[in-house]
Amino acid sequence: MKKKLTAVALGAVLTLTASAGVYAGANLQEIRASLNNGLGIVVNGSAYTPKDGNGKTLAPITYKGTTYLPVRSIGEALNTSVTYDAKNSRVVIGGGTSSGSTGGNTTTPATPSTGSSSVQRPTTIPSDFPLPSDAKVYDLVEGVAGGTGTPSATFKYTTKQDLLSLGNQYKEYFAKKGATSKSEEVSASAISIIDAGGSFAVTVDAKPGTGSNKGLNVVDIVWSGK
């Protein structure tokens, strides 16, 4: 039987892989699947290797005879926008949304902005949420989490600030906000934080950039709260 090829949200609900600690719930079902490293991909007649925002190669996943591709990477290859509608918990492919959408989410271009001297702050994060002065925000999706009405934001940014000091700054900030559940690993080469408190939940993942982001650090943020 010919295998069906299906594009789905891979990599933590688009950019949200690190957000499992924030959004895990009854709608998630654990499965056993296989990385299909032997499958080649051709887009418009040319060989294509899907990669994430940091330049890391992504492999298709095969599950029960169906092969799943990373939707954001494939969308970029086809010059088609892919966004995450947090309020309605769905992936939106192509411009605009269906009539059932409230239009409460906003997105930025899929690549970092350049030449800007000011930080583009997401509107749904607290005004004192730490962002370096040289931060270039991209892949921004804002809305509300689930049906709770809680403001949420997922985004990436690049910065030249060193990861050790940045990670410690985030640890201190989340502690002040009352984090009671913590998983924090901070070093000069990486940041991995999953914190939560009574009024917020957050994940921060960061590492040195590659490709066009070489020489910068790339930070992934998933925020839900006030």
165-183 per-position pLDDT tens digit:
999 999 999 999 999 999 9
Please provide the DSSP assignment of 87-121 as one string: TTTEEEESSS--TT-----EE--SS---S-SS---
Quick one: pLDDT band at residue 75, thresholds 50, 70, 90?
Answer: confident
Q: In the predicted model, what is the mean pLDDT of residues 199-209?
A: 93
Put simply, whether the predicted model's pTM sits higher than 0.85 gets the answer: no
How confident is residue 99, by pLDDT bands cut at 50, 70 and 90? very low
- How far is residue 218 from each of residues 52, 64, 74, 174, 221, measured CA to CA in Å? 12, 35, 21, 20, 10
Each residue's pLDDT tens digit, 112-158: 333 333 567 888 899 999 999 999 998 888 887 555 678 888 899 99
